[in-house]
Structure 1
Amino acid sequence: FDAGAYVVDLAQPQGKVAKAILEPASRLDPAFAQTQIDRYRRNIQRGRRGANEEYEFYDVTAWSLPIAFGVEAYWTEDAPAVSGALLSLPAEEPALPQAQQQARRVGGELLAVEIPSGIVGGQRATSAYLFRPDRSGASRLAYHLLIEGFRVAVASQPVDAGGAMWPRGTYVVRVSRNEPTLHARLDALARESGVEVTGVNTAFTTEGQYGVGSEPVSGLRVPNIAILSDEGISQTSYGALWWAFERRYGIRFTPVAHGYLTGGDIAKFNVIIIPSGSPGALSARLGKAGADRLRSWMQSGGTLITMGGSSAWAAGEDANFTSARAVGAEGDPGGGAAVSAASPRSPASDSTARANRRREQVPDKQQDALLATASPTASDASPQPVPGANFDAVLDRTHWLTFGYEQPRLTVLFEGDAFLRLSREGSNVAVFPTSGRFHRAGFTFPENTDRLLRGTALLIQEPVGSGHAILFANEPMFRGWWRALDKLVLNAILLGPTF
């Protein structure tokens, strides 16, 4: 490992705590896990309206911090001698001497180390300033420049500037299009955001096809954001967005109620976010008129972002914002209801046969704990709610929503049962792989989760007129501690009104 790598030695008083939060997969109690599987197998044998047994999960079943933060981490059984400095957080109290020496606060959070930030070398640029999109702070910096009235652009293709190649998604701030105060303010905001900014003195390229003045470099619009917070919306989902936006990124937004979406002046916003919520509650409170109003707003250029259960609503027949459908929902073209003409069996009899075969495989000593027989309407065609587990997703690294992500795969936290079929007309920006490594950690339902989640979409961008519907199947900023997907949300907010 190179110098600068962090080492967490488990031979310390907090070693057990460190292991619990850092290990890639935690082991569930086998007896508890088997009880949930038994309940699942009984539930899928019941009729459509039969009362299901509730699962006993208290919380998510996967919580590795390196994965949540998107950090490359390794586990080793040997313990070689390591020389280095022991880290500690700086004091938060401004009156203490150590706090006066170095605040080390980035994006409102204390850091144990200093990270390079600000304009490199303090050099004034005569052409443009550039900063890469790989840190979440880059989106924060771009946002604060925009709301302070500076003009910011983004490159949809790699650009050649200052004798270096810059990746797609690089932010470009042209000197000639901004006020003379740009240099000082950019440097200050970059330090607050933990971002390095490089100044260049010419727009001409040396080797690359595109430069800072080329067509793929597009000016960004200031995002004006509303977030739905009302009955039927998960308050933990709303709270996670509120905390992350306000405390970590300093993003301004307006909380709105259902009534505002159906009768208020939504044209004043160009981004509306609906956190995870109940699809039934959204259908009841917004109705067809509310959905049609949101569709008209998107057609005029608005960006609608939905998450978790709200994405199941957006993909449903009532809203119909996307050509995707939720697995097992009404209108799902691949929900298992169709039977080929060559098969004489009905969907119900096919599901019953599978259920009975599973029952026959259960040892005799467990038979008394299960139902006597499967219902004629028994089916396992619908997803069981995943109690927070980690899965790999494959990214479309040509799409603007993935600016800042250059690895082909990303491990994500998925909770719930909003499994989304692939969009037939939009872009499937992140999908769960159909083969290869998939499940990483946490509890899954055998014969259900893997079979139904594989090949579905985690993130969809559906064009709606001049605007977008952007659907996350999960809660990408789950409880404010899942950080690895922050850039996807920030890209949707910052780039959606422009692309």
Structure 2
Amino acid sequence: MSLKSLPLSFFVLGLSLATPLVAQAQRIVPGAALPHARYDFYGRKPYRSSVPTPAQLLGYEAGDTHSTYREQEKALLAMAAAAKDRVRVFEIGVSVEGRPLRLFAVSSAENLAKLDALRASNLKLSDPRTQSSAEADKAARSAPTFVWINHCIHGDESASFESAMWLLYTLAASESTEVKSALASAVVLINPVFNPDGHERFVVYNNSLALGIPEGDTLEQRQPWGISGRYNHFRFDMNRDKLSQSQPETQAESAAFLAWKPQVFVDQHGQVENYFFPPNSDPVNREADAKRIEDWTSVFGRANAAAFDKYGWQYVTRERFDLYYPGYLDSWTTLSGAIGMTYETDEGGRLAAKRDDGTLITLRDGIAHHFEAALATIEAAAKNRERLLTDYVAYRRSALTRASAEPMKRIVIVPGTDPDRLNALAQRLQRSGIEVGVAASAFVSETAHPYLTPDGKPTTQKQTFPAGSLVVELAQPQGRLAKTLLEPNTALGDAFLKEQNAKRQRNLKKNDAEPKEDYDFYDITAWSLPFAFDLTAFWTEDSAPPATRALAAPPKPTALPDSPTPPAYLIRYDRERAAVLALRLLAKGYRVGALTKPGKAGGVVLERGSFVVRTERNPESVHKALRALATELGVPVVPLTSAYTDEASVGLGSFTLQNLKRPRIAVVADDMVSQTGYGSVWHFLERELGVSFTPIRLRSLRGETLAKFNTVIFPEGYGYAGALGKAGADALREWVSGGGALIGLASGGTWFTEKDMNLTAATVVGAPPADAKPDDKEKEKKPEDRLKERESRPTALPGALFRATLNREHFLGFGYAQDELIFPLLGDTFLKPTTKGSNPLIFPKANLLASGFAWEGNTERLLAETAAVIDEPTGGGHVLLYLSDPTFRNLWPGLNRLLLNGILFGPSRTYGEE
């Protein structure tokens, strides 16, 4: 029997089983008296008695304990079933771990009876091309506004999770004038739990030991590594995933948002010292229309303030939380036309806590604050219904008019050698509701602007684009979001930049022990998708659009013939999935080789990095396995009819055809590892590559355990050197010498440079020499000398993109079609090149910055001619250091091959040594 078909009596019957829960809840509620009267969640009287309260369904009141996913599901579905005249339930997807994702639509009985028609009308309003301004204004005068309240994107921000139940109950059951009036003018969309997997992980842990102790470093105040419910199954931060759309929860929520296109979107978070609601701090994304967002967030901010002032609750606005990076839910929805807002409650995740002044705040308080803010927002939206709708249409229409008036009319992205990558970029745009087309034939632009030029200066040129180029017209309703995601650089305001640079100058002049000012960057400042996907892009000024066709999946390669049996198969490394195919074959126990130099055999050109499967060295089953995997991955395979070498010195029998090793991968998973860093590596290996790995504790990296693996990956993390010590580093070095590949990503690799580790000859820019001694005259240094010394060290970058030169003859460069990559940098660690090994990816002397923010006079000066990726050959193996993690948030698919190559070639013979 499905949950949809369960009768209400089924849930009510279960109330008798809830007695133990009540007792448990009473035991764990903090006993300290609250500094204010107990908040009443049932203050919107009268209520319809036919709708059960959450407390009746759960067996406890709000904040008494943390509810599980199933408890929330039971309560929500029972209330919805009892209020069918006001509530409809939609299943929108499934989480990674298989939990249903649902959306609850709530409105008046009159609106709900014609909900499908209202939604269709709202979607028509969202596309100004479908009706005139007069028609849209007429429709806005009678249509309800759509308001989306999003709960629990971070699973341990539990006040948001709990408040969904009391919000649904109030909207479904209250007969108060305020609620009924709001529902007559608004359709409320409740997403009760964005991240159910993370929440369940948190709740099971917390409920197993929580005592409601509000102070101290207790178990309930701290979540162990791997338990943290903030992240989803793959430990992705879901409020950073809108840009990559990598997780099924994000994809489901985005699809549902685009199916409704609300005018207001609230994303509930926690926990902060004082409740936050907008207006936001700077910077605000320029495509969000700063005046528009300021006007509307002031409307909702004042409504929230009035609700909070009624109870004497504290709150804060215009601090910390900006609206710039498009990966947030509030930014992404704002750029799609809604008034997107983040609300941060001041408790949740614990039953009780103490503020910095010693006063007590409880989970119940946090729930109450989110509950009141949601209702205040809904009521304010309803009161401003017509203005919201007309303004929404105007914003969506402005994307059409601005694109027609401004020089940048469209983005054109050249296909390149890997059709999968262009298709993946197009699909990512479509998940954001952006219209894309493919050039039906070659076309010419007289005013094309390349994203990159040799001297770094912008230029205009005549450009011929081939058929199959991706074309994105900015004159479309989602044009503002499209421009933000695709333009080469999203500018920051002059006043904001001036203030950050002024802060830096003040910080440089301060004494070492003097507190420094924080910079106001909340997240990364660069994300341009053509750069991220390693694709060549232009923007053009031409008024007339080229002829395009709809996007279609890349054609599957011709199936391999059943016979005759060739002596070998060639898999050209012109696409990323070729390496994935090689990895999958190796994982199944088949033997695969790779050419470290170009050659020719049987009349077929053999490019460097190409994979070769020799039938003589494999069992008969290789033909069927290769055929199946090649078909699944869409990778062309060329049967070689002869191994005879002609017109070149390299062939199938050459020593430059290196045997690759079956991957036996360990990934460090420990308290010192960034959970999101581990999660992005996990997702890359399991979901992108389809290969298995073993998570391993740091203290296990020695002896017989270490010998089981030929590849060890250190994700981003901290304190590795101190935890391993010299003995641990020596054990790793000995293992590498035996043929292993030690891979360090971001801070998971820069510790290789630390004193006594002796894992690489590379050093950190600005670090004192290894043999440096304490300076007894430090106190005597003049201020100008200290300033000069500080200027010799990089100031931390908030996240930007830089040009880097790739050595394609090195195995890490195999498969790339060009000698330049765009590489992301975050933080203050730059690497001087190794003097013993190889530096396959180096930042050039000049014109480094491709996109985002860099510190003037500091970043590019110190970054020039430093290393982005380092290979330190050690005995028969390799130590590989990546200054940034290519798997970070799944944002940089263009860098995938760098890591793929490290896994494929690192533990194998790659230099032709005998």
SS state of the match for residue 137, structure 1?
A: helix
| 1:366 alignment counterpart | none
Give the AA of the match of 2:889.
R
Q: Does the aligned pair in 1 maintain the 2:721–2:754 contact within 8 Å? A: no
Of residues 76-85 and 183-192 in structure 1, the stretch that sits farther from structure 2 once superposed is 76-85
**1:352 paired to 2:763:** no
**1:22 paired to 2:483:** no
**1:51 paired to 2:515:** yes
SS state of the match for residue 548, structure 2?
A: coil
User: What does residue range 110-189 of structure 1 map to in structure 2 within 5 Å?
Assistant: 112-117=552-557, 119=559, 124-189=564-629
| 1:388 alignment counterpart | 799
User: What does residue range 65-464 of structure 1 map to in structure 2 within 5 Å?
Assistant: 65-87=529-551, 112-117=552-557, 119=559, 124-261=564-701, 265-278=705-718, 281-331=719-769, 352=784, 355=787, 379-435=790-846, 437-464=847-874
Aligned-pair CA distance for 1:114: 2.3
**1:61 paired to 2:522:** no
**1:37 paired to 2:477:** no
User: Between Structure 1 and Structure 2, how many residues are aligned?
Assistant: 443
Q: Does the aligned pair in 2 maintain the 1:125–1:200 contact within 8 Å? A: no
**Equivalents in 2 of 1:152, 1:138: separation in Å?**
12
Give the AA of the match of 2:692.
R
Of residues 423-432 and 291-300 in structure 1, the stretch that sits farther from structure 2 once superposed is 291-300
Aligned-pair CA distance for 1:149: 1.5
**Equivalents in 2 of 1:154, 1:382: separation in Å?**
41
**Equivalents in 2 of 1:396, 1:21: separation in Å?**
29
**Equivalents in 2 of 1:77, 1:392: separation in Å?**
25
Q: Does the aligned pair in 2 maintain the 1:223–1:494 contact within 8 Å? A: yes
**Equivalents in 1 of 2:606, 2:902: separation in Å?**
21
Q: Does the aligned pair in 1 maintain the 2:560–2:627 contact within 8 Å? A: no
Go from structure 1 to structure 2 and tell me whether the alpha carbon gap of 1:348 and 1:236 turns closer, same or farther (over 3 Å shift).
Answer: farther
* Structure whose residues are more often helix by fraction: 2
Structure 2-normalised TM-score? 0.46
**Equivalents in 2 of 1:407, 1:350: separation in Å?**
48
Give the AA of the match of 2:797.
V
Aligned-pair CA distance for 1:327: 1.1
Q: Does the aligned pair in 2 maintain the 1:402–1:488 contact within 8 Å? A: yes
Aligned-pair CA distance for 1:120: 5.8
| 1:106 alignment counterpart | none
Go from structure 1 to structure 2 and tell me whether the alpha carbon gap of 1:351 and 1:456 turns closer, same or farther (over 3 Å shift).
Answer: farther
CA deviations 1:314-336 (Å, max 9, x no partner) are 11104221111111224369x9x
Give the AA of the match of 2:634.
G
Greater relative CO, 1 or 2 (CA 8 Å, sep 6+): 1
**Equivalents in 1 of 2:564, 2:558: separation in Å?**
12
Q: Does the aligned pair in 2 maintain the 1:132–1:170 contact within 8 Å? A: yes
CA deviations 1:238-282 (Å, max 9, x no partner) are 11111111111102111111221257611101100001122xx21
| 2:290 alignment counterpart | none
Give the AA of the match of 2:878.
H
SS state of the match for residue 647, structure 2?
A: coil
**Equivalents in 1 of 2:581, 2:483: separation in Å?**
34
Aligned-pair CA distance for 1:288: 2.0
Which blocks of at least 5 consecutive residues in structure 1 are unaligned?
88-111, 339-344, 356-376
**1:475 paired to 2:885:** yes
CA deviations 1:147-198 (Å, max 9, x no partner) are 1121100000102134232211000001111122222221221122231111
Aligned-pair CA distance for 1:29: 2.1
Percent identical among aligned pairs is 41
Aligned-pair CA distance for 1:79: 3.6
Go from structure 1 to structure 2 and tell me whether the alpha carbon gap of 1:31 and 1:145 turns closer, same or farther (over 3 Å shift).
Answer: same
Aligned-pair CA distance for 1:118: 5.6
Aligned-pair CA distance for 1:124: 4.8
CA deviations 1:351-399 (Å, max 9, x no partner) are 71584xxxxxxxxxxxxxxxxxxxxx96222211111101011112221
Go from structure 1 to structure 2 and tell me whether the alpha carbon gap of 1:126 and 1:347 turns closer, same or farther (over 3 Å shift).
Answer: farther
**Equivalents in 1 of 2:742, 2:779: separation in Å?**
36
Give the AA of the match of 2:471.
V
Superposition RMSD on alpha carbons, in Å?
A: 2.4
Go from structure 1 to structure 2 and tell me whether the alpha carbon gap of 1:470 and 1:122 turns closer, same or farther (over 3 Å shift).
Answer: same
**Equivalents in 2 of 1:466, 1:406: separation in Å?**
28
Go from structure 1 to structure 2 and tell me whether the alpha carbon gap of 1:290 and 1:207 turns closer, same or farther (over 3 Å shift).
Answer: same
Give the AA of the match of 1:387.
P
**Equivalents in 1 of 2:710, 2:731: separation in Å?**
14
CA deviations 1:50-107 (Å, max 9, x no partner) are 33222221111000111101112211111434333223xxxxxxxxxxxxxxxxxxxx
Aligned-pair CA distance for 1:121: 6.5
SS state of the match for residue 471, structure 2?
A: coil
Q: Does the aligned pair in 1 maintain the 2:755–2:770 contact within 8 Å? A: no
Go from structure 1 to structure 2 and tell me whether the alpha carbon gap of 1:269 and 1:332 turns closer, same or farther (over 3 Å shift).
Answer: same
Q: Does the aligned pair in 2 maintain the 1:119–1:198 contact within 8 Å? A: no
Which blocks of at least 5 consecutive residues in structure 2 are unaligned?
1-464, 910-914
Go from structure 1 to structure 2 and tell me whether the alpha carbon gap of 1:263 and 1:152 turns closer, same or farther (over 3 Å shift).
Answer: closer
Structure 1-normalised TM-score? 0.84
Aligned-pair CA distance for 1:218: 1.2
Go from structure 1 to structure 2 and tell me whether the alpha carbon gap of 1:20 and 1:125 turns closer, same or farther (over 3 Å shift).
Answer: farther
SS state of the match for residue 138, structure 1?
A: helix
Aligned-pair CA distance for 1:289: 2.0
Aligned-pair CA distance for 1:313: 0.8
Q: Does the aligned pair in 2 maintain the 1:225–1:252 contact within 8 Å? A: yes
**Equivalents in 2 of 1:30, 1:121: separation in Å?**
62
Go from structure 1 to structure 2 and tell me whether the alpha carbon gap of 1:258 and 1:346 turns closer, same or farther (over 3 Å shift).
Answer: closer
Aligned-pair CA distance for 1:290: 1.6
**Equivalents in 1 of 2:743, 2:808: separation in Å?**
20
| 1:484 alignment counterpart | 894
Of residues 377-386 and 420-429 in structure 1, the stretch that sits farther from structure 2 once superposed is 377-386
Q: Does the aligned pair in 2 maintain the 1:169–1:400 contact within 8 Å? A: yes
Q: Does the aligned pair in 1 maintain the 2:488–2:851 contact within 8 Å? A: yes
| 2:65 alignment counterpart | none
Aligned-pair CA distance for 1:220: 0.9
